[in-house]
């Protein structure tokens, strides 16, 4: 290998990186490519040892394989471009259907076949327009979102009229919009949550930004009021009141923030923050990818059954793995018993010796982390 930089083909680097480069605009793309060039040049010195140890014939074959990999990456970059264009095309085609859904859910229009006759059961009830609690029910049916919604939240979430999402380009990412009817909890008619992504295709989350909710007095759902009786003999006879944060879906609009200086946080705090960001993104992507496009299926529970079926398949795979592990453990136990019998036999014959059995315990692999 005459020159490690030539083998990295720096001139074509921008076109051969599908993920982060394809997700950024031209200026950010140039910055990222330059950063990756420097990183690859540093890595070249480390990897050159491996290549230098190869025979000339094998080295030549590896260089040809790397050229083939470059061609693959160029095709992959085109795939991501075409996929993004295809998604944008169909997002536009979905919009008229979402508008029809909005009109029916909120009682703007009536569907064919609904009569105006009032039954005996409905005489004493106010006429129901649209589909009451549509979005609340859809969200509560989803396992990920159900864990975030408290009983106190339900009163406010009943006022959701629509949920939308759209891509953003500068910076790359997506935005969720929650449209609320006039309600006694807060002034905002729209609450938004924006995700800034470093790489949409991985995805790598840079940060998230939520709307500041303008709560009406005494209606804040993310805090609760605590009252304590004054101590006996205290001059102040009034109860002591204080507020503290509590679990609520509306904490979703106050996402965890990453400190500007990474040195300000220790390893444990960084890990906790990363877990919070992953959970926050999981909620947002669930709303975007599941709830919005398939809302009525979540409302009726059909989508939940499909999710459960998928979970059952995953559980079966895990059961098979566990059975395999148990079989391996049983084999090891049998071997250990045989070794112990042999050892006892040797002890009777006054011969020393001990069989060593390796530990076959396997730990669960932690999920891959894609936060930066």
Give 282-316 pLDDT, tens digit per residue: 999 999 999 999 999 999 999 998 776 555 555 56
Query: Residue 194 half-sphere exposure, CB side, CA atoms within 13 Å?
Result: 11
- 98 contacts 164 by C-beta, under 8 angstroms: yes
pTM of structure: 0.66
Render the burial of 313-341: b for 16+ CB within 10 Å, e for the rest: eeeeeeeeeeeeeeeeeeeeeeeeeeeee
Mean pLDDT of 20-29: 45
Mean pLDDT of 122-139: 84
pLDDT higher at 32 or 194: 194
Q: What is the mean pLDDT of the chain?
A: 77
Beta strands in the chain (DSSP E): 160-169, 172-180, 190-199, 204-210, 223-228, 240-245
Mean pLDDT of 99-108: 97
CA 191-193-197 angle, to 5 degrees, is 165
Per-residue model confidence (pLDDT) at position 272:
87
- Parallel, antiparallel, or unpaired for β 223-228 and 204-210? unpaired
φ/ψ of 201, rounded to 5, equals -85, -15
Mean pLDDT of 314-343: 57
**pLDDT classification of 366: cutoffs 50, 70, 90:** very low
CA 270-276-282 angle, to 5 degrees, is 135
Tens of pLDDT, residue by residue over 197-243, are: 886 566 678 889 999 999 999 999 999 888 777 777 666 667 777 88
**pLDDT classification of 268: cutoffs 50, 70, 90:** confident
Mean pLDDT of 314-337: 58
Tens of pLDDT, residue by residue over 145-185, are: 999 999 999 999 999 999 999 998 888 899 999 999 999 99
Long-range contacts of 254-260 (CB under 8 A, 24+ apart): 254/210, 254/222, 255/193, 255/207, 255/208, 255/209, 255/210, 255/280, 256/208, 256/280, 257/207, 258/207
pLDDT higher at 185 or 117: 185
Calculate the dihedral angle through the C-alpha atoms of 341, 347, 353, 355, rounding to the nearest 10 degrees. 20
């Amino acid at each position: 290998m005459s020159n490690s930089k030539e083998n990295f083909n720096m001139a074509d680097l921008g076109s051969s990186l599908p993920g982060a480069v394809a997700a950024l605009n031209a200026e950010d793309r140039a910055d990222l490519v330059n950063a990756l060039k420097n990183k690859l040049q540093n890595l070249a010195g480390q990897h050159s040892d491996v290549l230098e140890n190869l025979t000339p014939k094998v080295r030549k074959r590896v260089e040809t394989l790397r050229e083939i990999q470059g061609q693959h990456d160029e095709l992959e970059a085109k795939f991501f471009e075409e996929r993004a264009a295809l998604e944008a095309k169909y997002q536009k085609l979905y919009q008229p259907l979402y508008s029809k859904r909005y009109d029916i859910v909120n009682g703007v229009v009536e569907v064919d076949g609904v009569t105006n006759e009032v039954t005996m059961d409905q005489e004493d009830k106010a006429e129901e327009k649209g589909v009451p609690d549509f979005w609340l029910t859809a969200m509560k049916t989803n396992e990920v979102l159900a864990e975030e919604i408290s009983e106190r939240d339900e009163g406010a979430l009943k006022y959701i009229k629509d949920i939308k999402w759209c891509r953003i380009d500068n910076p790359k990412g997506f935005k969720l919009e929650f449209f609320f009817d006039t309600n006694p909890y807060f002034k905002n008619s729209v609450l938004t949550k924006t995700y800034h992504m470093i790489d949409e295709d991985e995805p790598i989350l840079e940060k998230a930004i939520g709307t500041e909710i303008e709560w009406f007095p005494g209606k804040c759902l993310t805090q609760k009021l605590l009252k304590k009786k004054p101590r006996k003999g205290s001059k102040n006879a009034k109860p002591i009141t204080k507020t503290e944060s509590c679990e609520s879906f509306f904490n979703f609009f106050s996402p965890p923030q990453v400190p500007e200086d990474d040195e300000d946080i220790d390893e444990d705090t960084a890990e906790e923050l990363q877990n919070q960001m992953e959970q926050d993104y999981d909620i947002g992507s669930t709303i975007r990818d599941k709830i919005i496009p398939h809302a009525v299926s979540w409302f009726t529970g059909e989508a939940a059954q499909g999710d459960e079926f998928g979970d059952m398949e995953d559980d079966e795979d895990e059961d098979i793995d566990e059975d395999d592990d148990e079989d391996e453990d049983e084999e090891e136990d049998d071997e250990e018993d045989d070794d112990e019998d042999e050892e006892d036999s040797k002890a009777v014959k006054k011969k020393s010796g001990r069989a060593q059995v390796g530990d076959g315990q396997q730990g669960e692999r932690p999920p891959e982390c894609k936060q930066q």
